[in-house]
Chains A and B, each alone.
Chain A
Amino acid sequence: MKRGPYAKGTAKREEILSVALDVVAAKGCRKASNREIAERVGLTQAGLMHHFASREELYQEVLRARDIRDHGMFFAPDPTIEGFFAVIAHNAEVPGLVRLYVEFSAEASIPEHPAHAFFLERYAWLREGLSGVIRRAQDAGAIGPAVDVSAAVDLLVAAADGLQLQWLNDHTVDMVARLRRLWDGIVALSHAA
């Protein structure tokens, strides 16, 4: 009685997240419908909403699950810049997630949006992780002292986001090579007097 229903609920939740991702990957955020997601997982819309209170919560949880997985795959025990590049390289294998991320983060940028807080927290988390990357690289001597950490972090995050948009427009864009170039520039400047 204890384990069963809980495990079943979790399995259904996982199934819903995975189907939601498929539907968004094919149709985009604006046109993906709760009804289609519900149908594909064999639930009514009310049944779907029992697991996720809204469309926004559903998409947010798809992205959160992705972050947790990426973190385990690429950032353990501590994030490194190579781990960050590995996440970006992996993104090129999952265009549906990139599409969801790019569309939903833009949609959620208005303050009243239900996922606004999620993205704010996510950026804070990402900035903190990248600040740590730079500080550890400095400690290891890989990066010099002359670097404005918060500017470097904002620009790395911005480039990663902007590159995903460009990559959706044109899959031949090499996101990792471009980011590596930006990182090389940050490293080169950090040694400047």
Chain B
Amino acid sequence: MTGQERSTRGAYAKGVLRRSEILEAALDVIAENGSRGALIGDIARRVGLTQAGLMHHFRSRDELFCAIIQTRDEHDEAVYARTPVGISGFLAVIEHNQQVPGLVQLFAEYAAEVAGDPRHPSRGFFQQRYAALREALMGDVRIAQESGQMGPDACAPVIAEQMIVAADGLQVQWLLDREIDMAERLRQLWRALCAASFGAEDRGAST
């Protein structure tokens, strides 16, 4: 933390509160204006801080961006939780994304920046995030198998990967051209993967 020890519980709790207030404001600012340009300045203005004051709560631009994405994921989990179990939760989140292009844009651009740089400080954050998403989607595959929507030989890790790369790729296409229905495309992919899971045994390509 900073030089001033947050020795008392009260001060610490206040800092946490302020931090989450900043993150909520950041989500609103980005959803409204996108993430281009004077992003940090816009967020600071919204919560009545200077940029320096804002960056007192976050050690770096990277920490701020990861915290924003994390906060967004927590909101999405609430969407997830409201839908029936299985792939519909994931599809509901994608449908929700179509309402918040600024957040999709921030994510797409930042994920690209991080992936491009092997020494990027946020690499660990994205690795964990992808691992968690893969786990969740593998869970959806198991649920689909239990209900008979997918065949018993469906390869959960491969299906999870296919959904993830399609979702990432569709985001950029959709940002360029809003006519593309991301959720519908992913629903079609899922149906195709369901159908394929009843076919011949796995084609054996290593993935």
CB distance A161 to B169 under 8 Å? yes
**Size class of the A contact interface (CB-based, 8 Å):** 35 or more
Q: Which residues of A contact B170 (CB under 8 A)?
A: 154, 158, 162
Within 8 A of B (CB), among A122-178: 123, 148, 151, 154-155, 157-163, 165-166, 168-169, 174, 177-178
CB distance A158 to B173 under 8 Å? yes
Q: Tell me the dominant secondary structure on chain A's binding face.
A: helix
Interchain nearest-CB distance for A190 vs B (Å) = 10
Please measure, in the bound complex, the distance between the C-alpha atom of A148 and the C-alpha atom of B181, giving whole angstroms: 14
Q: Which of B105, B165, B180, B189 contacts A166 (CB 8 A)?
A: B165
Interchain nearest-CB distance for B181 vs A (Å) = 9
Q: Which residues of A contact B36 (CB under 8 A)?
A: 110, 112-113
Contact with B along A170-192 (1 / 0, CB 8 A): 00001001101110111011001
Q: Which residues of B contact A159 (CB under 8 A)?
A: 162, 165-166, 169
CB distance B188 to A155 under 8 Å? yes
Q: Which residues of A contact B166 (CB under 8 A)?
A: 155, 158-159, 162
The answer, yes or no, to whether A107 is at the interface (CB within 8 Å) is yes
CB distance A123 to B112 under 8 Å? no
Interchain nearest-CB distance for B180 vs A (Å) = 6
**Size class of the B contact interface (CB-based, 8 Å):** 35 or more
Q: Which of B113, B164, B169 contacts A160 (CB 8 A)?
A: B169
Of B13-21, B81-89, B144-152, B191-199, the one touching chain A: B191-199
The answer, yes or no, to whether B111 is at the interface (CB within 8 Å) is yes
The answer, yes or no, to whether A45 is at the interface (CB within 8 Å) is no
Contact with A along B135-169 (1 / 0, CB 8 A): 00000000000000000000000100110111111
Please measure, in the bound complex, the distance between the C-alpha atom of A4 and the C-alpha atom of B160, giving whole angstroms: 56
Looking at B158, B173, B175, B199, the one whose CB has the most chain A CB atoms below 10 A away is: B173
Q: Which of B109, B165, B195 contacts A189 (CB 8 A)?
A: B195
Q: Which residues of A contact B165 (CB under 8 A)?
A: 158-159, 161-163, 165-166, 178
CB distance B112 to A186 under 8 Å? no
Q: Which residues of B contact A99 (CB under 8 A)?
A: 116
The answer, yes or no, to whether A54 is at the interface (CB within 8 Å) is no
The 6 closest A-B pairs by CB, nearest first: A162-B165, A158-B169, A109-B175, A162-B169, A161-B169, A162-B168
- Additional pairs, 20, CB under 8 Å, beyond known A159-B162, A165-B112: A29-B116, A106-B172, A106-B175, A110-B175, A113-B36, A154-B173, A159-B169, A161-B169, A161-B173, A165-B111, A165-B168, A165-B169, A169-B126, A177-B205, A178-B207, A181-B158, A181-B162, A181-B203, A188-B195, A189-B195
Binding site for B on A (CB under 8 A): 28-30, 99, 102-103, 105-110, 112-113, 116, 119-120, 123, 148, 151, 154-155, 157-163, 165-166, 168-169, 174, 177-178, 180-182, 184-186, 188-189, 192
